[in-house]
Structure 1
Amino acid sequence: MRKPLVVALCALALAGAGATPAVAAAPSPTGADTTTGAVPTTLTDVVDDTVGTVADTLSGLTAPKAGAVNFAGTVSLSNCSGSVVRMPDSAADDPALVLTNGHCLESGFPAPGQVLVDRASSRSFGLLNSSGAKVATLRADRLVYATMTDTDAAIYRLGTTYAQIKSAYGIDPLTLSDVRPAAGTAISVVSGYWKRIYTCSIDGFAYRMKEGDWTWKDSVRYTSACNTIGGTSGSPVVDSATGQVVAVNNTGNEDGERCTVNNPCEVDENGVVTVRKGINYAQQTYLFPACFGVDNRLELSASGCAVPKP
């Protein structure tokens, strides 16, 4: 999972080579808790001051270009990345939502089979503009949904609406696509934590992906150019052509190990296991729009809602 880490994030933030259960958290220059992927409270400040001079030479990373995918609407968490998102039918006066990984929760990793719904939260998020500068601190009032079963996702509700964010900061949310992406799609993985954008394509899909005690279904596999690192967990995976979010970055195989934490493996329909060292992954998000109704309310009983339920 790809959360911030010093050595190998125990939770490389399940989002695209980052921490796991491959949870992609950000590598911590000052030292992170390698059991939970937690980062010292000062790490975010350190990153804000230094990350602009780091990683410019790393392969797979690009600065935003005019007309291309940029940082607007992405957020930085204390230990991961995320984004302000809307459903295709969300209204401007709906409370805004933030998408990240289930392994990025402030309370630790959900257990296999566990689904958290409607929990109190005061989680804060640093809102970024198109150039990656922090323009505001947003705060959640509820954790709407979170799990690491079948997928690795968490959705928070903010105490502000999309319209309020737009009026105050000129920033629109990213839209979650309700269509399953296709292999070959050009994508950008946008990390608010590191303020870096990785560009590559969807190489294919893993029928099942196992990492430690967790199993995910129909995971997105990146081509090698998206060599995400800890701290990128929770980054939105954006279709470069449409600008819509098609997945959430969450993990990668760091050491070539088989199905261990930070070393997810792929399992096909016949149970054949494949290990791809250095390859990173994301979890698809097209199932979520069917689970949200009027006022961005979670409706797990809605027709077509196929995400894991409590």
Structure 2
Amino acid sequence: MIRPLAGAALALAAGGAALTAVGGPAQAAAPAGKVDFAGTVALDNCSGSLVRGPRTADRDKALVLTNGHCLETGMPGAGEVIVDRPSTRTFTLLDPSGRRQLGTLRATRIEYATMTDTDVTVYRLSSTYADIRRKYGISALRLSPARPKAGTQIRVVSGYWKKIYSCKIDGFVHRMREADWTWKDSIRYTPECETIGGTSGSPIVDARSRQVVGVNNTGNESGERCTLNNPCEVGRDGRVTVRKGTNYGQQTYLLARCLGARSDVVLDARCALPRPAATR
């Protein structure tokens, strides 16, 4: 996984998700057209974004999107799905330039989190979308309900590092395996997106529509096969491919389609996200 930074709660998880400690200053941001840092947040160990779904109203409680492996209680196990768990985690809201901290947002619960099929955590905040726009002048990024296409120009926007990576969707991975986890239909980036530790949870933004199409989550660091920090690609025929230095994200259109009124993740028959074992 790419890598929440060392020292976070995730460092307690079996060699994992502290995954690679990163030091040194942030790099200069890549040119990013109209995409900026508005709607992005910094966590204590990861990146994230303020997001809303197609059916969200301004009066609804706002949501923050990051990775499942950025969860403050540790990485969910393979097959584990977490819903409606209390949380008081805080997030630093950035201004459009990324140079100024506008304020602190606070969660009231983990709405949904998993590392099965995808790598996502959704936090529900104490503030509504209208509250945040009124106080800070910031609107949430919209989750696209459409599956993106190969060749799409994207920006990976890291609130932790205040850096924007610019590249394209190179293609999609039928199955991607990393240690105990398997993800479906992952996004593979072209080489320009050299994401690093702390970029976990960054929104993947379609550069044209400015909608979120995915969430950044991993990369193969040393060329190992299907190990922690070294995901491998598994084709429909079962063939395994290792691409050292290649980075990846998880699509979010399924999440967008599962968001109902009042910002609830509705795990009904129409929702294709994994469900907790008791509700399957």
Taking structure 1 as the reference length, the TM-score comes to 0.83
Correspondence for 1:33: none
Unaligned residue ranges in structure 2 (runs of 5+): none
Aligned residues: 269
Residue 183 of structure 2 corresponds to which residue in structure 1? 216
One-letter amino acid matched to 2:125? L
The reply on whether 1:98 has 2:64 as its aligned counterpart is yes
Say which of 205, 222, 225 aligns to 1:255.
222
- Aligned counterpart for 1:186 among listed residues 122, 145, 153: 153
Match of 1:202 in 2: 169
| Pairing 1:280–2:247 present | yes
- TM-score when normalising by structure 2: 0.92
- CA separation of 1:284/1:24 partners in 2, compared to 1, >3 Å: closer, same or farther? farther
Q: Which residue of 2 aligns with 1:127?
A: 93
Contact 1:119 1:143 in 2 (8 A): yes
Q: How far is the alpha carbon of 1:4 from its aligned partner?
A: 4.0
Pick closer, same or farther for the CA change 1:24–1:216 going to 2, 3 Å: farther
Question: Tell me, what secondary structure is at the counterpart of 1:165?
Answer: helix
2:75 is matched by which residue type in structure 1?
F
The change in CA–CA distance for 1:81 and 1:24 in structure 2 (over 3 A counts) is farther
The Cα of 1:294 is off from its aligned counterpart by: 1.4
What's the counterpart of residue 270 of structure 2?
Answer: 304
1:70-89 matches, within 5 Å, as 70-89=36-55
Structure 1 segments unaligned to the other structure (5+ residues): 12-19, 30-49
Change in 2 beyond 3 A, CA 1:213/1:156: same
Between the two proteins, what is the percent identity of the paired residues? 59
Q: Which amino acid aligns with 2:35?
A: V
Cα drift, residue 265 of structure 1:
0.3
Whether contact under 8 Å (1:211, 1:260) holds in the other structure is yes
Which amino acid in the other structure matches residue 171 of structure 2?
A: G
1:134 Cα deviation (Å)?
A: 1.2
Deviation at 1:290, TM superposition (A): 2.2
Question: Does the Cα contact within 8 Å between 1:25 and 1:229 map onto a contact in 2?
Answer: no
- Over the aligned positions, Cα root-mean-square deviation in angstroms equals 1.8
